[in-house]
Structure 1
Amino acid sequence: MHTFGVMSNNGSEVYYLLEHRHTVDDKGRVSIPADWRAPEGQETTFFLILWDKGDQPPCLMGLPPSGMQELLRRLQSLSLSDSKAESLQRLLARSAKVTADKVGRIRLPAQLAKAANLGRDVVLKGMVFRFQIWNPEYYAQVEAKDLEQRDESHKLI
């Protein structure tokens, strides 16, 4: 089983699917889709990482705690003397832990939201085991590129 998901009450894994368009409120909060949240009575926590790969515009990558733990395990296995590993650690340290309130909103850290150029309107894009939060204009660019590459992408599976 892939360890990036969170478990629901019935033991099934929560997957981050579909595309959702939401508005960021005046306090910097955005609603997380109900089916992306932990079961009622459990805390919904994510790690938001500034995802700025260079070949696409920046966005925020959302990981559940299990996904962040797996990423940290991978980072710990890298050599301390590897300069690329050090650089990656610095890049991934541009992240924040966020917890949803009772109505399912998370606060987007101002520093991360600014770096990803997020405004009032955002796109939450499910990516099965994680999700991304995009500026709608940036997302349109990435989506167009995805469509151009879909034949090659399908060859991965």
Structure 2
Amino acid sequence: MFAGSHQLTIDDKGRLAIPARFRQQLADGPGLQLVVTKGPDHCLEIYPAAEFRRITDQIEQMENRDDAELLKMAFVGLAAEAEVDRQGRISVPPMLREMAQLDGPVVLAGQINRFNLWSETQWKEMFGTGPNSIQAALKGAFRNLRR
């Protein structure tokens, strides 16, 4: 399970260092395959390859073919494989970096079965008190959670 957030940077070559704690849960080592794609929010989603395959299998089985085609176009069509190198880094493709506005500091947040990669600016906006904040919705979600 991936949980927690890390403030990071993407280097000039477009590489992102995956924190050791996350790599350990991925069976750490060079050659590990991840998949980076654009999600529905203003961030990128990074999946272990097996989890991405599980989701694409679900897309193929969807009864609503219009939704399936949309997901294939956006979610699958924008996906890029990313191999973890010996330093624990992956390359984030320029087109995806641009789409998610990752031109400065970033936040990598665990999302149970994946990571979300946010620009730090958008991350702070989302968790702040401004009009784009999720605070009100979060209160409602916590009320529905059995703890």
Sequence identity of aligned pairs in percent? 25
Tell me the SS of whatever aligns to 2:116: strand
Task: Map 1:53-68 onto structure 2 (within 5 A).
Answer: 53=40, 56=41, 58-68=42-52
Aligned to 2:37: 49
Partners of 1:85 and 1:39 in 2: how far apart? 31
Match of 1:73 among 57, 72, 78: 57
Matched residue, 1:121: 105
User: What's the TM-score, normalizing by structure 1?
Assistant: 0.79
Instruction: Name the count of aligned residue pairs.
Output: 138
Structure with greater helix share of residues: 2
Amino acid at match of 1:128: I
Which of these residues, 35, 39, 44, is aligned with residue 21 of structure 2? 35
Is 1:147 aligned to 2:135, yes or no? yes
Partner of 2:120: 136
Q: Aligned residue for 1:7?
A: none
Verify the 8 A CA contact 2:30 2:88 in the aligned structure 1.
Answer: no
Gaps (5+ residues) in structure 2? none
Task: State the match for 1:23 in structure 2.
Answer: 9
**8 Å Cα contact 1:46-1:63 kept in structure 2:** yes
Q: Aligned Cα RMSD in Å?
A: 1.8
Cα distance in structure 1, aligned partners of 2:54 and 2:125: 29
- CA-to-aligned-CA distance 1:51-105 (integer Å, 9 cap, x gap): 1x3xx4x1100111121011011111024x7222211210112111101110101
Distance in 2 between residues matched to 1:44 and 1:140, nearest whole Å: 30
Could you give the per-residue CA deviations for residues 26-48 of structure 1, whole angstroms, max 9, x where no partner exists? Answer: 11111101121133446322111
- Aligned equivalent of 1:91: 74
Match of 1:107 in 2: 91
